[in-house]
Chains A and B, each alone.
Chain A
Amino acid sequence: AQRVTQPEKLLSVFKGAPVELKCNYSYSGSPELFWYVQYSRQRLQLLLRHISRESIKGFTADLNKGETSFHLKKPFAQEEDSAMYYCALTEGEKLTFGTGTRLTIIP
């Protein structure tokens, strides 16, 4: 069975400080992992996926198979980063989401 854990429901960070949103997964196969973001009054959208190794809006995420983690990081938080963030794991047709972390950037 797939399982995605986001241990923090709420996270507050000062503007300009580093951000780390934690995601751990439990899966025996070869995982494909994503981060999705939902800004206020907007639809849920893809932020990044691990196979692309891109940096989107300054965010990066590295897949650590040894620790089964896919933490989302940004060196300097901006006010527009305030949003709901979901980590997700896929194998086959299904996508399993974590419970989400609401990130608030304090001006």
Chain B
Amino acid sequence: DVKVTQSSRYLVKRTGEKVFLECVQDMDHENMFWYRQDPGLGLRLIYFSYDVKMKEKGDIPEGYSVSREKKERFSLILESASTNQTSMYLCASSRQVRQPQHFGDGTRLSIL
């Protein structure tokens, strides 16, 4: 069974801090994704990566960056955290394009 692990379930940070969210998958999947999940807005794609060192902007990339130095790890970086980035962040992976995505448990991030 695919395992997507997000490093923290809950995280509290202050405005202006640089925040790192980590995600690791153990099934050698090519594609990895970062979403944020907000009530009434569903899931919105922030960034995705289809190969090591490759990244593509999603629908809401502003204020975020990503890093994929190894195939199994995909990091989301909030360069300077702001209160409007308080949200649930979900990481996902898939073997190939158009294949189902497998999700982690999520990180609930609060920016004070």
Residues of A that sit less than 8 Å from B by CB: 6, 9, 32, 34, 43-46, 49, 86, 90-100
By a CB distance below 8 angstroms, the chain A residues around B106 are: 43
Contact A90 B43 (CB under 8 A): no
Specify the main secondary structure of chain A where it touches its partner: strand
Give CA–CA (A46, B103) in the complex, Å. 9
Contact-size category for B: 20 to 34
Measured CB to CB, the closest approach of chain A to B64, in angstroms, equals 16
Chain A positions within 8 Å of B100 at CB level: 34, 46, 49
Query: Which residues of B, 24-56, contact A by the 8 Å Cβ criterion?
Result: 31, 33, 35, 40-45, 48, 50, 56
* 19 A-B pairs whose Cβ atoms sit less than 8 Å apart in the complex: A32-B98, A43-B106, A45-B103, A46-B100, A46-B102, A49-B100, A86-B43, A92-B97, A92-B98, A93-B48, A93-B50, A93-B56, A94-B48, A94-B58, A97-B44, A98-B42, A99-B40, A99-B42, A100-B42
Rounded to whole angstroms, the CA-CA distance of A98 and B72 in the bound complex is 28
How many cross-chain pairs have Cβ atoms below 8 Å apart between A and B? 46
Given A43-B104, A99-B40, A99-B41: A90 and B90 within 8 A (CB)?
no
What's the Cα separation between A62 and B104 when bound, in Å? 28
Which residues of chain B come closer than 8 Å to A44, judged between CB atoms?
43, 90, 92, 103
A86 to B37, CA, bound (A): 11
Q: Would you call B101 and A95 a contact (CB within 8 A)?
A: yes
* Complex: chain B residue closest to A100, CB-CB: B42
CA gap between A55 and B100 in the complex, in Å: 16
Residues of chain A with a CB closer than 8 A to B101's CB: 46, 95
Known: A90-B97, A93-B48. 19 other contacts (CB 8 A): A6-B42, A9-B40, A32-B98, A34-B100, A43-B103, A43-B104, A43-B106, A46-B100, A46-B102, A49-B100, A93-B50, A94-B45, A95-B45, A95-B101, A96-B45, A97-B35, A97-B42, A99-B40, A100-B42
